[in-house]
Structure 1
Amino acid sequence: MGADEVPMDDKAKRMRDLLSSFYSPDPSNSNTNSKHASLDDINSTSFDPDQYMNILAYKCNLEGLLQRHVEMAAEIKNLDTDLQMLVYENYNKFISATDTIKRHDEE
């Protein structure tokens, strides 16, 4: 356990494992196989950003680094847009459900 990790109780561990299994695109990407994950797999639980940046800086020239920056900025913008849309859709569903409950209570 790292110095910055807080010890988890059993309920928190189960919740983390459930969320991990739900959101993991590949069941073989569990903690037992994380050591074999690619160094540039940002979605891996074993992703090391410092090591990734060191390898990227070693392999790419300035133009390649700038291109990767542009690509990552576009990915971030797309993810932000997707997240905003999900929040908006869920908020609308919540408001609709609230309105339905109010109408039902008024009857």
Structure 2
Amino acid sequence: MKINYHGTDTPSPEAIVKVREALFLLNGMNGFRTPFETWRNCEAQITFGNDAATTCIEIVPPATALIRRRGNWRNSRAIYCDGLFRANITNTEVELI
């Protein structure tokens, strides 16, 4: 999975720990699955904030997949929260694939 970093140049130690935990889960994965959707060839978007609470980790499918599916999708992102990746709309736990 491709990883993109954004945000502050000097993240806090808590933010670094949070990102390391998420990257450990993403090791060897390339997408995610919800009960009704499967997204492959995704990218991890990591945005560092001032602390762990403002640091955001998301799994985003490629733009071509969103265009191709148009209105047939609901959860187009997975967001890291409390040690799990959750779907952005339904807030259900996703399976990393």
Same fold (TM over 0.5): no
Greater RCO, CA 8 A, separation 6+: 2
TM-score range, shorter chain: 0.3 to 0.5
User: Normalising by the residue count of structure 1, what TM-score does the alignment of the two structures yield?
Assistant: 0.31
Larger CA Rg, structure 1 vs 2: 1
More strand per residue: 1 or 2?
2
